Structure 1
Amino acid sequence: MTLATLALFIPACFALNIAPGPNNVLAFSNAARRGLLVGLAGGMGRMLPFAAMILLVGIGLGAVLAASETAFNAVKYAGAAYLVYVGWRMWRAKPQAEIYARSDEPVTTLIRRDFLIAIGNPKAIAIFTAFFPQFTDLTQPLAPQYALLGGLFLVLECLAVALYAGFGAGFQGLLTPNRLHNLNKGVGGFLIFSGLALALNERH
């Protein structure tokens, strides 16, 4: 793999990392409520699923999932249902008692939530399956190339988490109880919309 290839991969990959999907919006929301460090910690929940998906794609199982309509749909609908569930709870939370704004909610709960949202999105495997091969050299061993590309993706994903958490933390001091409630409803509505869009989106 050449430096020219990496120079193309890094900005293209980062564009995927910083897209305002459900995980990134949650990182922003967590940091806005609980501070930068909590936002960063919560956003790390996605790393294990993404690493596993990269590994699956690297050994060929990602292509199997991408080719199986039944398997793909099972994961898609489960992930969509979870997004709607989380979004509905956030939307319905009462002012000044939002379930996702509690200071006593364990950080492990935020990490687990990020983990479940990431693992319930089969589009990630589809992205890795379609995206990574464009930057590989088939005349060279694939395993080291996927390891490098996967490692870079995870590093850039951490940077995306830091950016969203940083922006969220910048709003922390501006959140009154009413604004916090509105933020909760806004994020909840976004998650519901994302879940419905995922469920209704036709596979390409």
Structure 2
Amino acid sequence: MLLQNFWLFLPACFALNMAFGPNNVLSLSNGARDGVACSVTAAFGRLLAFAIMIAIAGLGMGALLLASETLFSALKFAGAAYLVWLGVKLFRAGPAQFTAGASNAGADTESPSDKLRRLAKQEFLVAAGNPKAILIFTAFFPQFVDRSAYAVSFLVLGATFLLLELVAIAIYAMLGAKLGAISGGASRFRWLNRVSGAMMIGFGLALAFLRRPQS
């Protein structure tokens, strides 16, 4: 891969990583509720989903997925339904459920490891249920791939994307923690819950109307 192409890839890729989407809403809300460390650790579920998607795109199966209207629609509507369901849960959550260190409803006896597994599963499912991610890896990455060293260059691009995604995760988690620190009071936490939930529902509805790229 030519060096100048890689330096073009870096800022474009980081802009995608920092885009305010459903996974970054999770990092923000998890950071506000449970702190930076918990939010970042849970987001490794997202990184796992993206790593699998990058491998799928690198093997050429991403283009096959996008070419199949049935598979694309199934993934799209499943992801949209999950985002709306998650958004409704956030929207209806009481203020105590969003206080830093507090447990979620029905999870008063939840251990820290159980909480991390649950949040990591959320991150994984939100990332895996979004066909826009496959579109990024299938349509965006090839513009920077060195055809003479396809496998190596795709691997470098994928590893760079995941590293920059981790940076974006940390930024959103820290912003969430700061927001949680200055949003003291039950009414403000309820407002934060509702805003996060409404955004998640909005992302789900937008995903439901996402159109399959025309071949």
Q: Which range, TM-score by smaller chain? A: over 0.9
On the 8 A contact 2:35/2:100 being kept in 1, the answer is: no
Match of 2:126 in 1: 117
The CA distance in 1 between the partners of 2:149 and 2:6, in whole Å, is: 16
Match of 1:22 in 2: 22
On the 8 A contact 1:90/1:99 being kept in 2, the answer is: no
SS at match of 1:171: helix
Match of 2:145 in 1: 136
**What percent of counterpart residues are identical?**
49
* Pair 1:203 & 2:208 matched: no
* Pair 1:172 & 2:185 matched: no
On the 8 A contact 1:90/1:98 being kept in 2, the answer is: no
Size of the aligned set, in residue pairs, is 203
Q: CA RMSD in A?
A: 1.7
Instruction: Show the 5 A alignment for 1:1-204.
Output: 1-97=1-97, 102-103=102-103, 106-138=115-147, 140-175=148-183, 176-204=185-213
CA separation of 1:91 and 1:100: change in aligned 2, threshold 3 A: farther
Q: Which runs of 5+ in 2 are unaligned?
A: none
Q: Provide the TM-score with structure 1 as the length reference.
A: 0.94
CA separation of 1:92 and 1:86: change in aligned 2, threshold 3 A: same
- One-letter amino acid of the structure 2 residue matched with residue 156 of structure 1: L
List per-residue Cα deviations over 1:69-97 (Å, max 9, x = no partner).
11011000000000000001111223434
Q: Which runs of 5+ in 1 are unaligned?
A: none
- One-letter amino acid of the structure 2 residue matched with residue 194 of structure 1: F
Deviation at 1:101, TM superposition (A): 7.3
List per-residue Cα deviations over 1:119-143 (Å, max 9, x = no partner).
00011001111100100122x1311
Q: Provide the TM-score with structure 2 as the length reference.
A: 0.89
Greater CA drift, 144-153 or 172-181: 172-181
